[in-house]
Amino acid sequence: MGIFIVIFFCFRNYMRARTQQLSGIKWAFYTFMAVIAGWFAGSMIMITILMIRFPELLQVAGSPDITPQEVSAYILERVNPIVADIFMLFCGLGGYLFVRHRLIKKALPPSP
């Protein structure tokens, strides 16, 4: 679902840039990078929240006897993954809105 939202955001800014006679590909790329950066920032915030809320998670994740699947199961028992996904999507939305704001504020090129 997340990839469809990224494509939608890129397409929206691509069309907005084309109506302002700017390079649509360039602005779609900027949108893609900003959404991915927002998503990354959201995931880092979510990891920080998890580490603060569940301090034993660091011990579980650092234990050499536990597999990554067991760590995932441990996290899924305590956190609803839908909430984490929605939070990261909203952080990605912030990246889209940032690029959209920059695109709207960009001055139109002079007409010939």
Per-residue pLDDT at 102:
93
Instruction: List, for residues 28-45, the tens digit of each pLDDT value.
Output: 999 999 999 999 999 999
End-to-end alpha carbon distance in the chain: 43
In angstroms, rounded to a whole number, what is the distance separating the alpha carbons of residues 20 and 108? 6
Q: According to DSSP H, which parts of 24-80 are helical?
A: 24-53, 56-62, 68-78
Smallest CA-to-CA distance from 28 within 17, 19, 41, 38 is with: 17
Per-residue pLDDT at 110:
67
Cα three-residue angle 69-73-51, rounded to 5 degrees: 100
Per-residue pLDDT at 109:
63
Question: Token pair 């360039």 is at which residue?
Answer: 26
- Kindly give the parts of the chain with pLDDT less than 70: 107-112
- List b or e across 20-57, with b for residues whose CB sees 16 or more CB atoms inside 10 angstroms: eebebeebbebbbebbeebbeebbeebeeebeeeeeeb
User: Side chain identity at 47, as an amino acid letter?
Assistant: I
pTM value? 0.81
